[in-house]
């Protein structure tokens, strides 16, 4: 073993060890801080030169995330998420109907917006329902957690790991392929998971009596900004597929189109312009910058190739499913996917092997339903609830509900991808 190999092995152990051990004892280092430390060590110890580190950062991913987070931030700043959640509350007669609405809407919104953004924006509103109607909001928080995870599977824009696969796998038409292979089983999973949630929370069927009646319009504090962001989002989604299918221009891509949409929001947002920029999830952006450098270092040093002998072979659907479900519990789903993409390319998985690539997306995403640390959105919901005086998720309690949900999800996705193949 050469010096680079040993140094990078230590860097990976420190980086992913800090991520995996968060919450144990007094360790409370956010994943983005741990990843930046790993990136800095990769450069300082000479595993990568500064030039190699800079060139490893995928600017398409970074620009796309900033643009997408801008749209999500605008919807939150405008009060749209609060307005929508309150409308759900006053339109529900009992807790089970409210659970259905929270679960369905969070899954729907996560198709096109970052699941972490939806989780962060909806949690404060759900916690406030406890004060407005004196209901048990814990089942609603679980409905939100499972909803944003399952809903985000179907399209590349639903979560960061899907975006990584879409932009770095080389798939020629990622939006089309994701929709063809993953949209039908996602719809099936949404229906199946809702029925499972009704069973798991069958004792939670209280009537809802709202104690603080408000005009929903009061929550929509910037109607113009909300309409602007929604209009841009509605226009962008079909454009993703149009540019994917017809290849109109090399300058019209999902990245550039979303960047244009974000720039229009900043142009028209007036006094809220700075607030929107502040609301962008910059810690996730920093996480990805560090992630690209750490992953390139693992490839350059040879550590990634060596690990391939001990990990499930990611050249088959079963291999990526087992890897996605299990490794995401240790290092979380985004780092897991970032490590596996170059490994899969090294082992000969071609861009046209759609089933394996979308299988990696599905397994690594639904892994978030298995344990509390399987997805960042779970931690976001738990921390945001506790911060506002509500209850968070405990690790064992989350598994009590997460294990049956994940089993159902995994069986449906694996069965669908195993037997459904498109002739193009």
What is the per-residue pLDDT for 308?
64
3-state helix, strand, coil in the chain (%, to 5): 75, 0, 25
Residue ranges of the chain with pLDDT lower than 70? 1, 20, 22-25, 92-93, 130-134, 204-216, 308, 330-332, 373, 387-389, 422-424
Given this model, what pLDDT does residue 131 score? 63
What values do phi and psi take at 252, rounded to 5? -105, 95
Task: Concatenate the DSSP letters of all residues of 320-355 into one string.
Answer: HHHHHHHHHHHH-HHHHHHHHHHHHHHTT--TT-HH
Residues 6 or more apart whose CB falls under 8 angstroms from that of 398 comprise 371, 372, 378
Token pair for 293: 């450098």
**pLDDT of res. 207:** 55
Report phi then psi at 78, rounded to 5. Answer: -70, -15
Report the C-alpha gap between 327 and 156 in whole angstroms: 21
User: DSSP assignment of 155-189, as one string?
Assistant: STTSSHHHHHHHHHS--SSHHHHHHHHHHHHHHHH
Give the chain's length. 424
pLDDT of 275: 93
Cβ-proximal residues to 172 (8 Å cutoff; 6+ apart), any chain = 351, 352
Specify which residues 207 forms β-bridges with: 94
Q: Which pTM value belongs to this model?
A: 0.77
Q: Comparing C-alpha atoms, which of 285, 280, 322, 325 is closest to residue 149?
A: 325
Distances (CA, A) of 388 to 23, 90, 125, 339, 385: 19, 21, 10, 36, 5
Give residue-wise pLDDT tens across range 304-346.
777 767 777 778 899 889 888 887 776 667 777 887 888 888 8
Backbone angles phi, psi at 380, to 5 degrees: -60, -45
Is residue 117 within 8 Å of 380, Cβ to Cβ? no
Take residue 30 and report the two structure tokens written for it. Answer: 């956010």
Tokens encoding 38: 């790993």
pLDDT of the residue at 143 = 93
pLDDT at 196: 95
C-alpha to C-alpha distance for 264 and 227, rounded to whole angstroms = 13
With beta carbons less than 8 A apart as the criterion, state whether 4 and 46 touch: yes
* pLDDT at residue 134, as a whole number: 67
């Amino acid at each position: 073993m050469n010096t680079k190999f040993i140094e990078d092995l230590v860097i990976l152990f420190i980086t992913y060890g800090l991520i995996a051990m968060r919450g144990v004892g007094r360790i409370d280092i956010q994943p983005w801080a741990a990843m930046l430390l790993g990136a800095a060590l990769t450069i300082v110890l000479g595993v990568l030169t500064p030039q190699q580190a800079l060139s490893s950062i995928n600017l398409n991913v970074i620009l796309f995330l900033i643009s997408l987070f801008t749209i999500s931030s605008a919807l939150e700043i405008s009060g749209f998420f609060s307005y929508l959640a309150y409308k759900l509350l006053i339109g529900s007669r009992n807790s089970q109907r409210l659970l259905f609405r929270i679960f369905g809407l969070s899954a729907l919104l996560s198709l096109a917006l970052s699941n972490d953004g939806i989780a962060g924006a909806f949690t404060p509103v759900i916690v406030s329902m406890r004060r407005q109607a004196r209901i048990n909001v814990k089942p609603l928080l679980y409905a939100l957690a499972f909803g944003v995870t399952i809903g985000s599977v179907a399209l590349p824009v639903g979560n960061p790991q899907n975006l990584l696969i879409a932009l770095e796998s080389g798939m020629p038409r990622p939006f089309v392929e994701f929709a063809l292979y993953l949209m039908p089983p996602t719809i099936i999973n949404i229906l199946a998971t809702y029925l499972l949630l009704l069973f798991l929370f069958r004792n939670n069927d209280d009537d809802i009596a709202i104690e603080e009646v408000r005009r929903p319009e009061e929550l929509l504090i910037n109607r113009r900004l909300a309409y602007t962001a929604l209009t841009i989002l509605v226009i962008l989604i079909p454009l993703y597929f149009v540019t994917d299918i017809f290849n109109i221009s090399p300058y019209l891509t999902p990245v550039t189109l979303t960047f244009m949409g974000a720039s229009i929001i900043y142009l028209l947002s007036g006094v809220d312009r700075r607030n929107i920029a502040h609301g962008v999830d910059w810690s996730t952006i920093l996480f990805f910058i560090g992630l690209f450098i750490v992953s390139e270092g693992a490839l350059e040093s040879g550590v990634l190739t060596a690990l391939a002998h001990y990990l499930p072979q990611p050249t088959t659907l079963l291999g990526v499913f087992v890897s996605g479900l299990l490794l995401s519990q240790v290092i979380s789903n985004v780092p897991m996917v970032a490590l596996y993409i170059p490994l899969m390319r090294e082992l000969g998985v071609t861009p046209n092997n759609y089933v394996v690539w979308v299988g990696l997306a599905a397994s690594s995403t639904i892994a978030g339903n298995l344990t509390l640390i399987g997805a960042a959105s779970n931690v976001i919901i738990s921390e945001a609830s506790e911060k506002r005086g509500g209850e968070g998720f405990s690790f064992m309690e989350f598994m009590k509900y997460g294990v049956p949900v994940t089993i159902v999800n995994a069986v449906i996705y694996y069965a669908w991808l195993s037997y459904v193949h498109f002739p193009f």
